[in-house]
Amino acid sequence: MHILITGGGGFIGRKLAQRLVGDGVLRGRPIASVTLVDLAVPAPVPAPLPVSCLACDISDRTALGAIMARPFDVIFHLAAVVSGAAEADFDLGLRVNLFGTLNLYEAARAAGNAPVLVYASSAAVHGGEEPDEITDGVELNPQTSYGTQKAMGELLLSDMSRRGFLDGRGLRLPTVSIRPGKPNAAASSFMSSIFRETLQGQTANCPVPRDFEVWHTAPRTVVANLIHAATLDGAAFGFNRCLNLTGRTDTIGDMIAAMTRVAGPAAEARITWQSDPVIERIVRGWRARVRPEKAQRLGFVTDASFEDSVRWFLEDDILSPV
């Protein structure tokens, strides 16, 4: 079993790689190798099996094709230009999120082995005139370039799976919180920084009010669900290979209260509350209430509480940083 992770230098890619090499098996087969690909060479992942860390811009079709000259059995496609950056630079988002994704699909097709391909889509494909609560089968209506590019990737994934070129399954990820590392250009970045930074003694700004609702999930849970997606029979997804992933709906105030119950009041005191109209316009275009019945039927897991997310961040990323 040979596995490729694009975006392998990011925090989800690294956590996924660590989990895979720790498990040692996927889809009932021993893992022979893991390859991590990102714009810069990903940091090494200690493992009892070969882990290759390579630099590659997925929008460079030739470079990506060279990496995929040896077929992979399972591909996790996590590489992307995040929401705020894709909105600020349309051409960059289009080049990476759409054409880079198409390059990956075409390389998987050319390999000739119809690999399992797990595509990290986003809840940002929803918005606009859709209902306040998203159910399975609701027409996609993204209100950002990022969401639009992700929706295009979904349609291509289902069509290329239908034709037998690859065995795709796409997961519309909720906001992942608490993200380790440094703030990034995602519009949702504050949904981690107001916990990540303040738990480590720094200040962080919240640009939306306390009653703003968030559809979210924890890094541990995302990794578990990515792996679960790879283990399922592709036919279980039906004609549409993409689904709304499981998550929680909480207000920012609820999440801060959960942090306080776990870690005490000092972190909350470090949060500032300065509005940001640009960020607020983007995130208010997303849906915070999702009823993911298909994902639940297929066995994807949901966080029990945001307290768990805080505890896991303290255990995984402060006490034992990635």
Find the angle CA(141)-CA(142)-CA(143) to the nearest 5 degrees.
120
Question: Which residues are paired to 290 by β-bridges?
Answer: 134
The single residue listed with the structure tokens 């303040």 is 198
User: Are 208 and 108 a contacting pair, CB within 8 Å?
Assistant: no
> What are residue 197's phi and psi, to 5 degrees?
-70, -45
For 161-183, letters b (16+ CB in 10 Å) and e give beeebbbbbbbbbbbbbbbbeee
Which amino acid, 186?
A
Q: Of the residues 105, 146, 215, 300, which is catalytic?
A: 146
Distance separating alpha carbons of residues 58 and 38, to the nearest angstrom: 8
Q: Could you give the 3-state DSSP secondary structure of residue 77?
A: strand
For 224-263, letters b (16+ CB in 10 Å) and e give bbbbbbbebebeebeeebbbbbbbbebbbebbbebbbebb
Tokens of 313: 């961040």
Q: Could you give the 3-state DSSP secondary structure of residue 222?
A: helix
Tokens of 300: 């994807």
146 as an active site residue: the answer is yes
Q: Which residues are catalytic?
A: 146
